[in-house]
Amino acid sequence: MQLDFDLHVTQILVLFVVLGSIVGYQAPAEYKHLPVLLGLVIPQGRILVRAFWDYPSLNKPKAPYLLANELQAVLAALACAAISYLG
């Protein structure tokens, strides 16, 4: 099974990791979780629309796309959380 990474999702997640690291150093403790939540929620629209709308119309399997992009969303959120909470 070949994983299908979406580069647009990757760009969104890199942006949230960078913003999360900046917010993590500057924000008080009660706001440090916001970049992590936004990094998980914002790309879901693109991921779910492509997986359940575009891929069936192209006769492509949606499981590799969902797996690859959800995994990178979770890893980016973990990186963002580690940077903001350790900083």
pLDDT (0 to 100) of residue 81: 79
* Residue span of the structural domain in which 46 resides: 7-86
On average, the pLDDT of the chain sits at: 84
And the tokens for 69? 């992009």
In a domain, 58, yes or no: yes
Total number of domains constituting the chain:
1
pLDDT (0 to 100) of residue 22: 79
Query: Tens digits of per-residue pLDDT, 58-84?
Result: 899 999 999 999 999 888 888 887 877
**Can you state the percent helix, strand and coil of the chain, rounding each to 5?**
80, 0, 20
In a domain, 32, yes or no: yes
pLDDT average, residue stretch 16-38:
77
In a domain, 2, yes or no: no
In a domain, 1, yes or no: no
pLDDT (0 to 100) of residue 6: 87
In a domain, 73, yes or no: yes
In a domain, 11, yes or no: yes
In this predicted structure, the answer to whether residue 87 has a pLDDT above a threshold of 70 is no
In a domain, 77, yes or no: yes
In a domain, 79, yes or no: yes
Indicate the Cα dihedral angle 25, 28, 31, 33, nearest 10°: 50
